[in-house]
């Protein structure tokens, strides 16, 4: 790597929710920057104002903050290369487009939208480029005096790059190695639109140069744009300053066929956004920890070669290497995503989960007053939770008596003998001085032996009395946490329901 300071940018368009593929691109940018003591820049590419969505920029910022990959420079925390919204940099771009026209590398095109549409309908595979440009309305085909008159009259026009014929252009991709393109396959892309706004092609080159971007990570879907960008870096005289590029593999649908889309999430019932967005539930809303989400994303197309899968963000910064990024697409596996989340919940300290679990319970109408008690509950049940939302089912009975019981698991085999057993057990609990899990279990099993009952006869009913169903941690640990009075109260209420 050169001595040039590492500066990377994540440059999304504020046109909607931030797809998880975009978050992964941001993550890889962040990891590379931090590993090399560099800068991670957020630049908002909002040149297409027709597609601008109110609130999308703030959503992008919120997503990055939730993931823990906050930019060093951004529209809300600008550095020396401000502004960081392309719409606010509009005045910068025309001079470079005009420079390209003066040098003969670009030209004015006056064709109307209707004229272009007519060509597309009449000419199969029509492209505005080497084959057809001389027959269209532009400064290459029209006499100079006519061009001057059209410009003087402020006739709407765009500026297009003049792609040369019969050339091969290429670059060395940090992931894919040498990549080459034939210019005969490339059309003359618009660089500056009629409203004076640059297109992505011009803006990304100008901004990467002015912001001194050293490395550019972007999805492989941008590879077809690379020849235009290569030509622009050369024509503007900045070839020596061009960033090193890395085109990341696609995130594929669960079946491995095609790029994962927002529609796939809706169709198959999993999130594709980090945070909730306009009625679509995100990973956050579904109950994922940001640490798990980031860990899962990092492993989509990358591994460190060790076979390990659980990494903190700090460990990812330390372990990340571009040569371990796969060229092939990475198949999205929601079950694997949930596995990561379960592992992160297990390793999390109860104190760090407290606020999130309290929010889950509060949303379900459970008022948690004792934080110390909540922490004890979390420690007891967190190994059973895959999503944060699972804490409601796994924890609710510690705060409120079950609203209903799994009677189908109890009533068919219920008997007077079992009713007598639990009534006697209540008497034993009332006399017990040291109400601990071990003592409760010992008394329960002793009484069971005295009554010649098997564990299957009374253990499950006891669990259902306390919990309402066939789930939860060790039943005697549950009783201990509930306390003597509440345990007795629940046995009595359940007996009434079991013997109806």
Binding residues for ATP: 262
What are φ and ψ of residue 71, in 5° steps?
A: -65, 155
Please compute the mean of the pLDDT values over residues 453-458 and round it to a whole number.
Answer: 94
**Greater confidence, 341 or 280?**
341
- Distance linking the first and last C-alpha atoms of the chain: 78
Please compute the mean of the pLDDT values over residues 313-335 and round it to a whole number.
Answer: 96
Q: Is the peptide bond before 454 cis (omega within 30 degrees of 0)?
A: no
What domains can you pick out in the chain, each with its CATH number?
89-248 (3.90.800.10), 262-347 (1.10.1160.10), 348-397 (1.10.8), 401-500 (1.10.10.350)
Please report the pLDDT score of residue 229 as a whole number: 98
Which residues are known to be catalytic? Answer: 262
What the block records as the tokens of 483 is 């306390």
**Which stretch of DSSP H or E encloses residue 311?**
none
Please compute the mean of the pLDDT values over residues 248-268 and round it to a whole number.
Answer: 91
- Residue 6, pLDDT > 90, answer yes
- Residue 124, pLDDT > 60, answer yes
Please compute the mean of the pLDDT values over residues 100-117 and round it to a whole number.
Answer: 97
Contact 390, 287 (CB under 8 A): yes
3-state secondary structure 105-123: CEEEECCCHHHHHHHHHHC
Please report the pLDDT score of residue 2 as a whole number: 54
- Residue 4, pLDDT > 80, answer yes
Please report the pLDDT score of residue 333 as a whole number: 96
Alpha-helical (H) ranges within 113-199 are 113-122, 144-152
- Residue 500, pLDDT > 90, answer no
| pLDDT digit string, tens, across residues 407-451 | 999 999 999 999 999 999 999 999 998 999 999 999 999 999 999
Give the rounded percent of residues in the chain with a pLDDT score beyond 90.
94
| pLDDT digit string, tens, across residues 180-199 | 999 999 999 999 999 999 99
Please report the pLDDT score of residue 69 as a whole number: 98
Please report the pLDDT score of residue 93 as a whole number: 96
**Which stretch of DSSP H or E encloses residue 176?**
none
Give the Å distances, CA to CA, from 460 to 385, 409, 415, 488. Answer: 21, 8, 14, 16
- Residue 489, pLDDT > 90, answer yes
Neighbours of 409 (CB within 10 A): 14
Q: What is the mean pLDDT of the chain?
A: 95
- Residue 3, pLDDT > 80, answer no
Please report the pLDDT score of residue 335 as a whole number: 97
The model's confidence at residue 325, banded by pLDDT at 50, 70 and 90, is very high
Three-state DSSP class for 245? strand
In whole angstroms, give the CA distance from residue 318 to residue 454.
55
pTM of the model: 0.92
**Greater confidence, 72 or 17?**
72
In whole angstroms, give the CA distance from residue 296 to residue 310.
9
- Residue 111, pLDDT > 70, answer yes
In whole angstroms, give the CA distance from residue 213 to residue 365.
50
């Amino acid at each position: 790597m050169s001595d040039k300071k590492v500066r990377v940018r994540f440059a999304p368009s504020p046109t909607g929710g931030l797809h998880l593929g975009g978050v992964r691109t941001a993550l890889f940018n962040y990891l590379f920057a931090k590993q090399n003591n560099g800068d991670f820049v957020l630049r908002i590419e909002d040149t297409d104002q027709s597609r601008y969505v109110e609130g999308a920029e703030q959503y992008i910022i919120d997503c990055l903050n939730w993931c823990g990959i906050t930019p060093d420079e951004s529209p809300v925390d600008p550095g020396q290369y401000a502004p960081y919204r392309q719409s606010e940099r509009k005045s910068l771009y025309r001079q470079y487009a005009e420079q390209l026209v003066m040098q003969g590398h670009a030209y004015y095109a006056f064709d109307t939208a209707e004229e272009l549409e007519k060509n597309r309908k009449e000419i199969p595979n029509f492209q505005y480029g080497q084959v057809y440009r001389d027959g269209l309305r532009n400064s290459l085909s029209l006499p100079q005096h006519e061009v001057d008159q059209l410009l003087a009259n402020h006739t709407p026009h765009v500026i297009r790059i003049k792609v040369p014929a019969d050339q091969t252009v290429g670059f060395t991709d940090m992931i894919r190695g040498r990549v080459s393109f034939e210019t005969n396959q490339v059309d003359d892309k618009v660089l500056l639109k009629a409203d004076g706004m640059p297109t992505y092609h011009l803006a990304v080159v100008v901004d990467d140069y002015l912001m001194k971007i050293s490395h550019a990570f972007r999805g492989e879907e941008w590879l077809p744009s690379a020849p235009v960008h290569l030509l622009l870096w050369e024509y503007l005289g900045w070839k020596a300053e061009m960033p090193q590029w890395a085109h990341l593999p696609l995130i594929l649908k669960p079946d491995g066929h095609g790029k994962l889309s927002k529609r796939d999430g809706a169709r198959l019932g999993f999130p594709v956004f980090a945070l909730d967005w306009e009625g679509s539930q995100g990973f956050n809303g579904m109950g994922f920890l940001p640490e798990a989400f980031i860990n899962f994303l990092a492993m989509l197309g990358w591994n460190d070669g060790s076979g390990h899968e659980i990494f903190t963000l700090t460990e990812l910064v330390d372990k990340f290497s571009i040569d371990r990024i796969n060229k092939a697409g990475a198949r999205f596996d929601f079950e694997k995503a949930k596995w990561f989340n379960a592992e992160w919940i297990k390793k999390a300290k109860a104190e760090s989960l407290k606020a999130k679990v309290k929010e889950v319970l509060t949303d379900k109408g459970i008022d948690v007053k004792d934080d110390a008690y909540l922490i004890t509950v979390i420690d007891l049940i967190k190994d059973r939770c895959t999503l944060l939302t699972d804490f409601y089912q796994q924890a609710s009975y510690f705060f409120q008596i079950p609203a209903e019981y799994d009677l189908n698991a109890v009533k068919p085999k219920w008997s007077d003998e079992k009713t007598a057993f639990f009534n006697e057990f209540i008497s034993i609990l009332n006399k017990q001085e040291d109400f601990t899990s071990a003592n409760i279990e010992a008394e329960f099993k002793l009484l069971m032996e005295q009554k010649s009952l098997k564990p299957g006869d009374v253990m499950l009913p006891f669990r259902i009395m306390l919990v309402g169903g066939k789930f939860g941690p060790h039943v005697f640990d549950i009783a201990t946490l509930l306390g003597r009075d509440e345990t007795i109260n629940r046995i009595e209420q359940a007996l009434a329901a079991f013997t109806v």
